[in-house]
Copies of this chain bind each other. A is one copy, B any other.
Amino acid sequence: MNFAVTQDYIDWLKEAIEDQNDEAILQSMQGEYPADINTVLYQVTADEAKYVMRLLDKKIVAQIISELETDVRKKFLEKAYKPEELAELLDFIDTDDAADILNEQSVKYKEETIAHIQDEQHATNILELLRYDEDCAGGYMQKEMVKANVNWTVQECIEEIRRQAEEVEKVYSVYVVNNQDKLLGRIALKKLILTKPQVPIAHIYEKDLVAVESYMPIQEVAELMQRYDLDAVPVINVQGKLLGRITIDDIVDAITEQAETDLQAISGISEDTDYEDTAWQGARARLPWLIIGMAGGMLAAMVMGLFEAELTIIPAMAFFTPLIAATGGNVGIQSATVMVQNIEELAIGGILKKVTKVLLIALLNGIVIAGLVFLFVLLMGRPAKLGIVVSVALFSVVILASLMGTLVPVLLHKFGINPAFASGPFITTANDLLGITVYFSVARLILDF
């Protein structure tokens, strides 16, 4: 935050790159955090970014690459670095990030890069991580951690930390394992500092700890770490063998990503989009949902087509179609969102109680809204009978849309689909359509044409 990225600085930097004024460039970035340098590099061309990165220390470049956005990195790396150059940088990158980076690349570039990694242990670790699904605990874990044998003393533990100090950036606890590498417990760093060096760790380690299996979905890992306020969680296999750990900073990223995905699901954007994309990519990401919405609108037009005769007699009936459709959509989104936010708590208590509550809320809102709309129709100088039709239809739509909004997320969740989609255009469109069908059906019943 000390580093103000102004348009002036960007302009200056572009000029300095053109003039090959290496010293001035280096000096301007002296002591800045890689995350801040990244902000700058997003504002220049790939070639300019490459030029700057060649000037910087390899350790800094490694961090810059770790923190690049996935889409940008995917396009940038293969163009900017030969496999042997990337391999050299990977030595400075944690195994989890290294695996993510390699997973994004083409198979050939990936394989060649791995073959060039000098540190064999590091290469083996990365290869192991490449095996895991990216959305589960294994896909998020890193091999960097401090592991101690249960037969060691505190002194031996500290020696191990010293040995790993370079490699493991953040040490929260030391994980205690037996001779077969089975996870037995942990010792907080604080405890280690306060215990005499000759004490056997078997006397001081905590046996009660939360660990996750490598195939646990990352969202569950996130909830668990939040629930128990954990800084890091060890990952084990089915036999209880310690495989790695997941640190809270990766979980924060996962939570933020999930929130973005939910927002996009609700608003009907089908891929990750940002302002780096071309207009065509942006259009393509939005088109599928727009077309679904259009299909709904077309169906609505066809439904209304069935009532053309009635519309010719009372054109005023058409006035209230947007109102009915919009209310159905709004109620559905509201119910679905509340449901999505509480879907994890649903396991206990049974769904019937929730549905009853939702129906009660819909009933209350339906009465208020139907009453308001009846008054409005009268105020517009239309016949009371039309008012009754609109009110009854609106009331029914509120009830039906509430039910849809409540049940669809539960169904989606059951089938392993992100329930946030239930607040999205698909269900909104369905509710629109439902509303119009109900409206005209009620009209035919009450106005008996």
Instruction: Report A255-270 residues with CB < 8 Å from chain B CB.
Output: 255-256, 258-260, 262-264, 266-269
| Residues B368 and A228 in contact, CB atoms below 8 Å apart | no
Task: Find out whether the CB atom of A325 lies under 8 angstroms from the CB atom of B327.
Answer: no
**Is the pair B193, A294 in contact by a Cβ cutoff of 8 Å?**
no
Given contact pairs A330-B425, A357-B282, A287 touches B248 in the complex (Cβ within 8 A) = no
Interface stretch among A51-59, A99-107, A123-131, A304-312?
Answer: A304-312
Bound CA–CA A264/B324 (angstroms): 22
The dominant DSSP class at the A interface is helix
A255 and B315 CA atoms in complex are apart in Å by: 50
Q: By the criterion CB–CB under 8 Å, are A330 and B290 in contact?
A: yes
A33-B228 in contact (CB<8A): yes
Given the complex, which residues of B lie within 8 Å of A39, measured CB to CB? 348
Interface string of A248-287 (1 = CB under 8 A from B): 1101110110111011101111000111000110110011
Find the residue from A5, A256, A260 having the highest chain B CB count within 10 A.
A256
Q: Mind listing 18 A-B residue pairs with CB under 8 Å?
A: A7-B348, A31-B208, A35-B228, A161-B190, A225-B252, A252-B252, A256-B259, A268-B330, A274-B338, A286-B331, A286-B361, A289-B334, A290-B331, A291-B369, A301-B323, A302-B380, A304-B318, A311-B311
Known: A259-B259, A259-B262, A296-B323. 11 other contacts (CB 8 A): A7-B349, A35-B227, A171-B190, A280-B364, A293-B330, A301-B323, A302-B380, A311-B318, A312-B315, A322-B325, A325-B325
Q: Which residues of A contact B (CB under 8 A)?
A: 1, 5-7, 10, 31, 33, 35, 39, 43, 158, 161-162, 165, 170-171, 189-190, 192-194, 208, 210, 224-229, 231, 248-249, 251-253, 255-256, 258-260, 262-264, 266-269, 273-275, 279-280, 282-283, 286-287, 289-291, 293-294, 296-298, 300-302, 304-305, 308, 311-312, 315-316, 318-327, 329-331, 333-334, 336-338, 340-342, 345, 348-350, 354, 357-358, 360-361, 364-365, 368-369, 372-373, 376, 380, 420, 423, 425, 428-429, 432, 436
